[in-house]
Structure 1
Amino acid sequence: MADLLIELFSEEIPARMQARAADDLKKLLTDGMVEAGLTYASAAAFATPRRLCLTVEGLLDASPRTVEERKGPKADAPEKAIEGFLRGAGLTRDDLEKRDTPKGAILFAKIVKEGRPAAEIIADVLEHTIRTFPWPKSMRWGNGTLKWVRPLHTILCILSREDGAEVVPLDVDGIVSGNTTYGHRFLAPDAITVNNFDDYAAKLKRAFVVLDSAERRDAIWHDATNMAFASGMEVVEDAGLLAEVAGLVEWPVVLMGRIGDDFLDLPPEVLQTSMKEHQKFFSVRNPKTGRIERFVTVANRTTADDGATILAGNEKVLSARLADAKFFWDNDLRIARSDVGMAAWVENLKNVTFHNKLGTQAELIDRMAVLARALAPMVGADADDAEQAAKIAKADLSSEMVYEFPELQGLMGRYYALAAGMSEEVAAAAEEHYAPLGPSDDVPTAPVSVAVALAEKIDKLTGFWAIDEKPTGSKDPFALRRAALGVIRTLVENDISTDLSAVALKGFGAHRVKLADPSEEADFTNLDLPINLLDFFHDRLKVYLKDQGIRHDIIDACIAMEGNDDLTLLVKRARALSDTLKTDDGENLLQAFKRANNILSQAEAGTNLEYSHGGDVKFAETDEERALFAALDQADSVIAPAMKAQDFSTAMSALASLRPTLDAFFEAVQINTDNDVVRRNRLNLLGRIRTLCASIADLTKIDG
């Protein structure tokens, strides 16, 4: 057994590519070795800004010798057929063995493949991996043909055993493998000779290189939070920034600096965004005031002055950046507080295209205002506030701050709306109407925000449906699936019951979409479009509920019911049915329903008869029949009012309670008796079961 150590040492690898590159290196190398017959015990990959590393433990010294028996043609087959078999197997006629079989004499061959030394296999696999490595972007340099993310300098590749280490010989475009690496670019740039992975990691640490990115992340966060705590501050958490910064340094040195007093009154989100995007700084917040007052930067080296020069330079650059942000902020506030206010920005949006077939951003705002006003009473919002909020929700797209930092759209709208003297509810809607942007984001809950958020997404869906720009396969360039899921979550999580088809019609009605002929316009109010759109919502709903453990067939059983355009009602029904079918009573009730339905289907087949009259207890002949009549009466008295109150759990519990009575009925009663009156009465009794079940969900769509 041997251990393998590989390092590919290059110029700086972009931080965003490092984690994926380490995973790719591990997969490509280990898959290639295993395919060649070289198995191993464990493997781990690492990345720093200047190196990719792979360590493999418990590697075989050589691939095993294999013997494969291959069946050939018949012994009396034409000579050309036999020669073709020999060529494919790489054998001669002397290597064949003739055997008698029930099908006659057959030629067989044993193909022996001798094992290959580990070093030989590793060299082949590593060279192929280097030459075909799947970098998102790569470059060529010098006179060679090799492509790498940045110029590749050295290849370390050694096999180590208890008796020592050997270099795996390899030459890739003049880069010859060896057993040396290099430490930190500035603090320890000399070559380092290594014997195995433990030796490698320890010597790198002494040469100011932390190999493990997780260790670098932990060190950065530990030092940053301790520094902030010592000053009575707290670091604003940002996992993405932490991962990125850990990919920029090999020897992290955490420094904390101050933000100039002139910039402390900027919105904290502006400070955070500017420092993160331009400088890769962490924000440090004063917990007493909520203001961002300091920053944390991570240097890649120690210095004689403990980072004072680095901090001074960073503070100077930061001041220049924040001076720009302050100029944008002050200028935007001046406009928001003017007599014209945010209307000036909305006017500018008349020159910004939303979509060439759906008009400008200003036209989008007009449609959103119409929709938000119509939706307001459905969600408990004030109609005037909802309309006003929709009219200014996207105004900040014209502001200088959002032009500089697009990720602040909506958030800056809230600040500017408050500066313009608008209510908290209207201002909040400007920020929240984009939500949710992802499956883990919170949905808006304030009524005005809900109205505008729904209006924005319904406008998008109905608009793109109207111009036939629907998602196809994996393509969804306008994020319509996300918009539909946003509508579903906003309605369901706020417990809003509404007729989605009617809402969609309002969306289509708000559109006057320019067609291919500019002289033509259409008012999209035909019913086919909303029905297609409702199907799309139902498909998204299945994805949403599947993540919550509710099966597709259960959702289909509920979609088949009347009122399926009320998504909140639909979800309540599906959850209740799912919970019921997880119980023994519910599962057995389903089987009893299917049995009853099958009997009725057979009895009704080829006739004009239907058994939906419920039967009459006076024709009952057995105690089990009479017990079922009584149980159905009892269940019906609970189910009818429960369904009226949309209390699906109570209704389905009452339905499931029929299970023992139904079991006894089917056990004791013969449905198709010779007495025609009794037979029809029993079939009508089964029809009553079918009708009662059908009032809750279409159980015929349930699997099993």
Structure 2
Amino acid sequence: MPDLLIELFSEEIPARMQAKAADDLKGLVTNGLVDAGLTYEGAAGFATPRRLALTVHGVTSRSPDLREEKKGPRVDAPEGAIQGFLKSAGLSSVAEARVVDDPKKGKFYVAETLKPGRAAEDIIADLVPQVVRGFPWPKSMKWGTGALRWVRPLHSVVCTFGPETEDPTVIAVDIEGVSSGNVTYGHRFLAPEPIRVRRFDDYMAALEKAKVVLDPARRRDIILHDAKDLAFAAGLELVEDEGLLHEVAGLVEWPVVLMGSFEARFLEVPDAVIRATIRANQKCFVLRDPATGGLANRFLLTANTVSADGGATIVAGNERVIRARLSDAKFFWEQDLAVPLESRLPKLDSITFHEKLGNQGERVKRIVALAREIAPLVGADPELAARAALLAKADLVTGMVGEFPELQGFMGRTYAERQGEDPAVAAAIEEHYKPQGPSDRVPTEPVSITVALADKLDMLTGFWAIDEKPTGSKDPFALRRAALGVIRIVLENGLRMRLTAFGSTPDLLAFFADRMKVQLREQGARHDLVDAVFGLGGEDDLLLVVRRVDALGHLLASEDGRNLLAGYRRAANILKAEEKKGTAVAATVDPTRFADPAEAVLWAAVSRGAETVSDALGREDFEAAMAALAGLRPPVDAFFEAVLVNAEDPLVRANRLALLAAIRDTCHQVADFSRIEG
């Protein structure tokens, strides 16, 4: 079966856009082929700084013929309606239509038309320009006088199609004057001559000879392998950086790893600063000295060429830039250390946090006040917590964080340690930002926990107060992350806190409930049980919610629990149906109205169960509460087997409905069983 090869050759594509662009090209083309009636066996997309490429294997050579039916009017319909049908169906007379006799609708005309399939070449010729013109680049540009938008100027298009046994056909495509062909180009400097290609296998091999590694995964492997080898040869260890590796692999087509060095005096600067400086400015990897555990005064760069001097000129150029950047970092480090963090606090008043929520200085005061309230609940010293909260944002106005915002928190901790602050205060300055994501650790020390919670709760209550809530996929202030951070800190540290004590509104509690469902679902819990517990309303102690959800899950995993749920649903459904009809339900159960022994047994069990459940919940003994509910299963089953709820006597019926309401209300002490699925 034929294979399709597409290459879109352009000026340099930003590294951050390449992976998604390769996936988009694959999706748009393969979906387009399938929509047009073609099938394929496999596809793979690739990207280098100057090209997007796609190979689609085993494409069918033609789309199938399609037979379509168009229903027309009844045979006795007015002539005008029949003629209109014939015209729309492309028929010259009713003799070309088929008559269908329907027992209900009578006889009517049906037109059958055959839509011939199309050659794959024709489909591809139409599809490729559509894909290119509508490509979803995050940012694109126009050049020259044409109307085409592409990430960078598009120079050439390769589009070949054919089986392995034959020379493939060049699919004729013209996109704003860029015509398709079977010619590509190798490395910009090492092999710039045109390369004629046929299909994917020889295309990939030809590029390799022309100093272009097409597969990004292979470029990453080359860089990582060579970097580790160079580090090992120098007696050092590579500090691996997955994000940087992906970025660097998107900057080169022919990776060549080289080692450079900088003066040892710069090692006085914290390792994180050196790494950030070298990474941000030169996209270089740093190395660790296994003898000391600290960074070595070496770095690794990835060139995109093989130079005659073995890379000496490239290394020297990078060393000059890194030396200058590290000199700046050392200056910031020394200047920042000379000024106590507390002395920087007035500058926070000049930094706007949000126009409706004031400046950073005002926010710090709110966090300090919250920290004093939270500290006793988590076993933290209120004075240390307040001190940490006071200094938590001070590093935002340091020279180092101004240069490298990603070091906020870390630099605050480092400066606090050097300036003699309590270790718990210093640690909290860094850790109050955590967790930054699902894989980030949560603070575990009491002072750090306190400030982290105060920071996140201030954000959430503040933005809720000004009605700046996340909507759909938009969350510009990362409030979902803040809520998940609160949830993880509380649960993973086993904290007892009532969120309403810190300004959480019912609307905000509902937001926490939604985030908690996400968190518990990722941990394997049933989201409907979280719904059932939150459905009671007013529960704002997250740890109690989890304990109640766990206990409810254990109950429903048992036979008694499953049967009780079935009995609850039967009771609730009967009540709902009767209440909808306006049937009277007694306000209370009257034992004198019992007409069957099963009623008395059930009422005794429900009365005892309701009291036991209430007592157990008051003691926060959720297992005992669930056991009490499980004990209702036999009398509930016996009641439904022996008793007809809708008795003829309206007073007996109202009393029995009140019994069902008692079952429902007892279950609802634990959770809203109506929200439980399955």
- For 2:404, the equivalent position in structure 1 comes to 405
After TM superposition, give the deviation of residue 286 of structure 1 in Å.
2.5
* 2:594 equivalent to 1:652: no
* 2:543 equivalent to 1:539: no
Deviations 1:187-241 (A, max 9, x none): 2222222222111112212222111111111221222223323434332232221
What SS does the aligned partner of 1:108 have?
strand
Deviations 1:546-582 (A, max 9, x none): 4334444422332244760212211221232133323
Counterpart residue type for residue 357 of structure 2: L
Unaligned runs of 5+ in 1: 336-340, 506-529
Measure the CA separation in 1 of the matches of 2:100 and 2:431. Answer: 81
- For 1:256, the equivalent position in structure 2 comes to 259
User: Is contact 1:95-1:109 (8 Å) kept?
Assistant: no
Question: After the TM superposition, which residues 112-123 of structure 1 pair with which residues of structure 2 at under 5 Å, given as runs?
Answer: 112-123=114-125
User: Is contact 1:74-1:107 (8 Å) kept?
Assistant: yes
After TM superposition, give the deviation of residue 645 of structure 1 in Å.
4.5
Measure the CA separation in 1 of the matches of 2:458 and 2:83. Answer: 71
User: Is contact 1:10-1:51 (8 Å) kept?
Assistant: yes
* 2:138 equivalent to 1:136: yes
* 2:333 equivalent to 1:329: yes
Question: After the TM superposition, which residues 298-377 of structure 1 pair with which residues of structure 2 at under 5 Å, given as runs?
Answer: 298-335=302-339, 341-377=340-376
Measure the CA separation in 2 of the matches of 1:299 and 1:98. Answer: 72
User: Is contact 1:372-1:383 (8 Å) kept?
Assistant: yes
Counterpart residue type for residue 609 of structure 1: A
User: Is contact 2:605-2:635 (8 Å) kept?
Assistant: no
User: Is contact 1:612-1:688 (8 Å) kept?
Assistant: no
Measure the CA separation in 2 of the matches of 1:634 and 1:287. Answer: 66
* 2:154 equivalent to 1:179: no
After TM superposition, give the deviation of residue 416 of structure 1 in Å.
1.2
After TM superposition, give the deviation of residue 429 of structure 1 in Å.
1.1
- For 2:424, the equivalent position in structure 1 comes to 425
Change (3 A) 1:472 1:37: closer
- For 2:530, the equivalent position in structure 1 comes to 555
Deviates more, 1:595-604 or 1:552-561: 595-604
Counterpart residue type for residue 457 of structure 2: I
- For 1:67, the equivalent position in structure 2 comes to 67
After TM superposition, give the deviation of residue 688 of structure 1 in Å.
7.3
Measure the CA separation in 2 of the matches of 1:531 and 1:385. Answer: 32
Measure the CA separation in 1 of the matches of 2:590 and 2:232. Answer: 75
What SS does the aligned partner of 2:58 have?
strand
What SS does the aligned partner of 2:310 have?
coil
User: Is contact 1:614-1:685 (8 Å) kept?
Assistant: no
Measure the CA separation in 1 of the matches of 2:516 and 2:592. Answer: 35
* 2:47 equivalent to 1:47: yes
After TM superposition, give the deviation of residue 47 of structure 1 in Å.
0.8
- For 1:491, the equivalent position in structure 2 comes to 490
Change (3 A) 1:182 1:354: same
Change (3 A) 1:428 1:90: farther
- For 2:672, the equivalent position in structure 1 comes to 698
After TM superposition, give the deviation of residue 242 of structure 1 in Å.
1.2
Relative to the length of structure 1, the TM-score reads: 0.86
* 2:313 equivalent to 1:289: no
After TM superposition, give the deviation of residue 677 of structure 1 in Å.
13
- For 1:476, the equivalent position in structure 2 comes to 475
Deviations 1:517-569 (A, max 9, x none): xxxxxxxxxxxxx3333333333333333433444442233224476021221
Relative to the length of structure 2, the TM-score reads: 0.89
Measure the CA separation in 2 of the matches of 1:389 and 1:591. Answer: 53
* 2:587 equivalent to 1:609: yes
- For 1:338, the equivalent position in structure 2 comes to none
Measure the CA separation in 1 of the matches of 2:145 and 2:538. Answer: 70
User: Is contact 1:613-1:684 (8 Å) kept?
Assistant: no
Question: After the TM superposition, which residues 74-85 of structure 1 pair with which residues of structure 2 at under 5 Å, given as runs?
Answer: 74-75=74-75, 77=77, 81-82=81-82, 84-85=84-85
Q: Percent identity?
A: 54
Change (3 A) 1:497 1:90: same
* 2:281 equivalent to 1:278: yes
Change (3 A) 1:115 1:666: closer
Measure the CA separation in 2 of the matches of 1:268 and 1:498. Answer: 38
Unaligned runs of 5+ in 2: none
Deviates more, 1:91-100 or 1:28-37: 91-100
Measure the CA separation in 1 of the matches of 2:478 and 2:521. Answer: 20
Q: Number of aligned pairs? A: 671
Query: Pick from 111, 119, 124: which aligns with 1:109?
Result: 111
Measure the CA separation in 2 of the matches of 1:132 and 1:599. Answer: 56
Measure the CA separation in 1 of the matches of 2:205 and 2:611. Answer: 76
Change (3 A) 1:93 1:269: farther
After TM superposition, give the deviation of residue 469 of structure 1 in Å.
2.8
Counterpart residue type for residue 471 of structure 1: P
After TM superposition, give the deviation of residue 451 of structure 1 in Å.
1.1
Deviations 1:34-79 (A, max 9, x none): 2222222211111111111111111122222333232233456556
- For 2:559, the equivalent position in structure 1 comes to 584
Change (3 A) 1:432 1:680: same
User: Is contact 1:620-1:626 (8 Å) kept?
Assistant: no
Deviations 1:226-267 (A, max 9, x none): 332343433223222111111111111122322321211211
